[in-house]
Amino acid sequence: MYFSLGVAVVSVFGLVFTVSAFAWICCQRKNTKSQKTPPYKFVHMLKGVDIYPESLSGKKKFAAPAATTTNDSTLHLDLEKRDLNGNITTKPFHHHHQKVRSSPELELPSPHAGFTQPGVMDRRDLPSPSSTLSSQAPTPAVDKPQGEERDGGLGTLHFSLEYQPERKAFIVHIKEAHGLSPTDEQSLTSDPYIKLTLLPEKKHRVKTRVLRKTLDPAFDETFSFYGIPLARVSELALHFMVLSFDRFSRDEVIGETLVPLSGIDLTEGRVLMSREIIKRNVKKSSGRGELLLSLCYQSTTNTLTVVVLKARHLPKTDNNGPTDPYVKVNLYHGKKRVCKKKTHVKKCSPNPVFNELFVFDLPSDEGLRDTSVELLLMDSDTGNSRSSNTVLGRLVLGTSSAGTPGEHWREICDHPRRQIAKWHAMSED
């Protein structure tokens, strides 16, 4: 009985305590809601002073000690990032401090030299839109014209001159060349070699070996000319011609340089020299066009192979219209024509490509001795059957031919079974 009464009393006290605690909590909440919310929130505590936004308005400043710690600067940054309600804003609030510039009228140094507050960029350091765009825009590379880089030159030739009086020998040592002009458009290289001629007689002609695929060839070759007195050397001149070897057509001239020997003292030993290679002064043909021709003499079968490859720079017709060219090939034994052939007509082509091969059986067992080949570059006139075709140019190759045709003929006679191709200028008759 007493036990039950004790349990009931404890239960009553627990219930009263619970109700009282609940009522007290409700009263506290009610009192809290009934209190008027201050217009501004508490922002921060600096040096034990409550800071409210109204105290930061106008030109008012807080007097801070001279020795301000890093933590104070950090608190100051937090103030500048909040608005009147204590919220973070992107536009900093203008708070004035002794060590931080807060207005244009206040010219105060920063706390530390070179100090930059984290997360804040000075207005003076902000890049302008125009400067930002100009810094992001790529700077185009300014290429110098080719004429300014080389000043019209096609490379440089290095050589040396020497005279040995005891042997009466004039010695030319071709060392190297640099910066030659490329002749192959695909590989942008050349196969250079040099032809050297002693002027004015042109009796002494030599050439170097061919160096493959290079624009800076190192020849390192020496040529000695004997029987020339020292007094005679000053009257001579050296003509260097730089060429690029072409297996299937005429070698292309890269450039040349002329070196007069007057005024060069060779009595004291070797003289080192360098000369710029310039463009060759080529005399233009009479305007009848040029023909690329390949010849091969087969001594075993006693035959002559003529390959008409292509033509270029053909003249226009009388009415300034395009030409319809073709080539007639006539084989002569003495003054008698023994065989004739012709290529196909290339319509409206000032630079036709034929690539046609003809094989002639030589009438004499003496080979090419009394044989000659005549080539006629014709313009086909298919519109008028009564009029004869016009002869644009003529070329004759034989033992009595002069210039390039005669040289070409002698080469195939001296080198049987070798296919040799050369460009030839066509003549009028």
Q: How confident is the model over 232-247, as pLDDT tens digits? A: 898 899 999 999 998 7
Residue showing tokens 């073709």? 326
For residue 359, name the pLDDT band (cuts at 50, 70, 90). very high
Q: What is the model's pLDDT at position 100? A: 41
Contact 290, 423 (CB under 8 A): yes
The fold of the 290-425 domain, in CATH, is Immunoglobulin-like (2.60.40)
Q: What is the model's pLDDT at position 317? A: 66
In total, the chain counts a number of residues equal to: 429
For residue 65, name the pLDDT band (cuts at 50, 70, 90). very low
Domain with CATH 2.60.40.150 in the chain: 155-277, 290-425
Q: Which residues contact 209 (CB under 8 A, 6 or more apart)?
A: 193, 219, 221
Q: How many CA atoms lie within 13 A of 190 on its CB side?
A: 24
The fold of the 155-277 domain, in CATH, is Immunoglobulin-like (2.60.40)
- Count CB-CB contacts under 10 A for residue 171: 17
Two tokens, residue 303: 């035959």
Q: Cβ-count burial of 113 within 10 angstroms (0-12 exposed, 13-18 middle, 19+ buried)?
A: exposed
For residue 46, name the pLDDT band (cuts at 50, 70, 90). very low
Q: Which residues contact 409 (CB under 8 A, 6 or more apart)?
A: 295, 368, 397, 398, 399, 401
Q: What is the mean pLDDT of residues 119-140?
A: 41
- Report pTM: 0.38
pLDDT at 418 over 60: yes
Q: What is the model's pLDDT at position 60? A: 42
Least confident of 106-110, 159-163, 194-198, 314-318: 106-110
For residue 365, name the pLDDT band (cuts at 50, 70, 90). confident
pLDDT at 188 over 50: yes
Q: Cβ-count burial of 97 within 10 angstroms (0-12 exposed, 13-18 middle, 19+ buried)?
A: buried
Least confident of 141-145, 149-153, 217-221, 303-307: 141-145
pLDDT at 368 over 90: no
- The closest alpha carbon to 52, from 84, 92, 23, 81, belongs to 84
Contact 192, 243 (CB under 8 A): yes
pLDDT at 54 over 50: no
Q: What is the DSSP letter of 139?
A: P
Contact 289, 311 (CB under 8 A): yes
For residue 160, name the pLDDT band (cuts at 50, 70, 90). very high
Q: What is the mean pLDDT of residues 196-212?
A: 89
pLDDT at 64 over 80: no
Q: What is the model's pLDDT at position 80? A: 46
- Count CB-CB contacts under 10 A for residue 244: 19
DSSP states along 283-332 = PP--SS-EEEEEEEEETTTTEEEEEEEEEESPPP-TTSPPP-EEEEEEEE
Q: What is the DSSP letter of 138?
A: P
Q: What is the mean pLDDT of residues 9-17?
A: 85
